[in-house]
Amino acid sequence: MVNVSEEQTVSLWMSVDVAPGAAPLKQDIDADVVVVGAGIVGLSTAYELAQRGYTVVVLDRGRIGMGQTARTTAHLSSDSDDSFEGLIARRGLDAARLFHQSHAAAIDRIEAIQTAESIDCHFRRLDGLLFAGPGQDASALDRELEAARQVGMTVEARHGMPFADLGEARCLAFARQATFHPQRYLRGLAAAITAKAGRLFAGTAVMGVEEKDGEVFVSAENGRTVRARHAVFATNTPTNDWVAIHSKQAPYRTYAMAFTIPRGALPDALYWDLADPYHYVRLETGPGTADYLIVGGADHKTGEADDAPVRFEALEAWTRALVPELGHEAHRWSGQVYEPIDSVGFIGRNPGNQNVYMATGDSGQGMTHGVVAALLIADLISGRSNPWSELYDPARKPVSAAKAFVSENLTAVKNFAEYVAPGEIASEEDLTPGQGAIVRKGMSKIAAYRDREGGLHLHSAKCSHLGCHVHWNSLETCWDCPCHGSQFGTDGAVLQGPAIAPLEPYKR
Ligand X SMILES: Cc1cc2nc3c(=O)[nH]c(=O)nc-3n(C[C@H](O)[C@H](O)[C@H](O)COP(=O)(O)OP(=O)(O)OC[C@H]3O[C@@H](n4cnc5c(N)ncnc54)[C@H](O)[C@@H]3O)c2cc1C
d(CA 366, CA 296): 15
Nearest of 207, 201, 187 to residue 58 by alpha carbon: 201
Q: Which residues pair with 473 in a beta bridge?
A: 478
Eight-state DSSP code of residue 140: H
What CA dihedral angle connects 48, 57, 486 and 370, to 10 degrees?
10
Instruction: Lay out the site mask for ligand X across 222-251 (x = CB under 6 A, - = otherwise).
Output: ------------xxx--x------------
Closer to ligand X by Cβ: residue 57 or 439: 57
| Min separation Cβ 135 and ligand X, Å | 24
Decide the pairing of beta strands 436-441 and 444-450. antiparallel
Alpha carbons 363 and 352: distance in angstroms, whole number: 24
Under DSSP, is residue 104 helix (H, G, I), strand (E, B) or coil? helix
Closest distance between ligand X and the C-beta of residue 253, in Å? 8
Cα atoms in the Cβ-side hemisphere of radius 13 Å centred on 368: 25
Whichever of 286 and 438 has its CB closer to ligand X, that residue is 286
Residue 62 as a binder of ligand X (CB under 6 A): the answer is yes
Q: How far is the CB of 463 from ligand X (least distance, A)?
A: 15
Per-residue mark of binding to ligand X, 402-421 (x: CB under 6 A): --------------------
**Applying CB under 6 A, which of residues 33, 74, 171, 404 lies at the interface with ligand X?**
74
Span of 64-72, 108-116, 210-218, 454-462 interacting with ligand X by CB under 6 A: 64-72
* Binding status of residue 119 toward ligand X by CB under 6 A: no
Residue among 12, 33, 367, 404 that touches ligand X (CB under 6 A)? 367
The strands making up 487-488's β-sheet, listed across from edge to edge, are 471-473, 478-480, 487-488, 494-496
The entry of ligand X, ligand FES, none that residue 481 binds, CB within 5 to 8 Å by partner kind: ligand FES
Segment near ligand X (CB under 6 A), from 94-102, 104-112, 358-366, 411-419? 358-366
Sheet holding 215-220, edge to edge: 29-30, 225-228, 215-220, 206-212
Q: Distances in Å between the alpha carbon of 308 and those of 73, 402, 462?
A: 18, 31, 24
CB 448 within 8 A of CB 455: no
Handedness of CA 37, 469, 415, 209 (dihedral sign): negative
Stretch that binds ligand X, among 16-24, 40-48, 257-265, 443-451 (CB under 6 A): 40-48
Calculate Rg over the CA atoms of the chain.
22
Beta-carbon count within 10 A of 33 CB:
27
Is 203 near ligand X (CB under 6 A)? no
DSSP H or E segment with residue 258: strand 249-262
Q: Contact residues for ligand FES (CB under 6 A)?
A: 463, 465-468, 481, 483-486, 498-499
> Using CA atoms, how far apart are residues 178 and 115, in angstroms rounded to an integer?
14
Q: What would the x/- binding string for ligand X be over residues 327 to 356, using CB under 6 A? A: --------xxx-------------------
Measured from the CB atom, is 100 or 484 closer to ligand FES? Answer: 484
Based on the shown chain and the rule CB under 6 A, indicate whether residue 497 belongs to the binding site for ligand X: yes
In the structure, how many helices (H) and strands (E) does the chain have?
A: 9, 26
Label the pairing between strands 124-131 and 170-179. antiparallel
| Residue 473 binding result from ligand X, ligand FES, none, given CB thresholds of 5 to 8 Å by partner type | none
Instruction: Give 68 or 260: the residue with its C-beta nearer to ligand X.
Output: 68
d(CA 122, CA 128): 17
Q: Which does 335 bind (CB under 5 to 8 A by kind): ligand X, ligand FES, none?
A: ligand X
Which of these ranges, 60-68, 140-148, 210-218, 298-306, lies near ligand X under the rule CB under 6 A?
Answer: 60-68
- The site string for ligand X over 127-166 (x = CB under 6 A, - otherwise) reads ----------------------------------------
Q: Which does 75 bind (CB under 5 to 8 A by kind): ligand FES, ligand X, none?
A: ligand X
Angle at 404 between CA 400 and CA 408, to 5 degrees: 145
Applying CB under 6 A, which part among 26-34, 359-367, 406-414, 461-469 lies near ligand X? 359-367
Q: Which residues bind ligand X (CB under 6 A)?
A: 36-42, 59-62, 66-69, 71-75, 205-206, 234-236, 239, 254, 256, 296, 335-337, 362, 364-368, 370, 497, 500
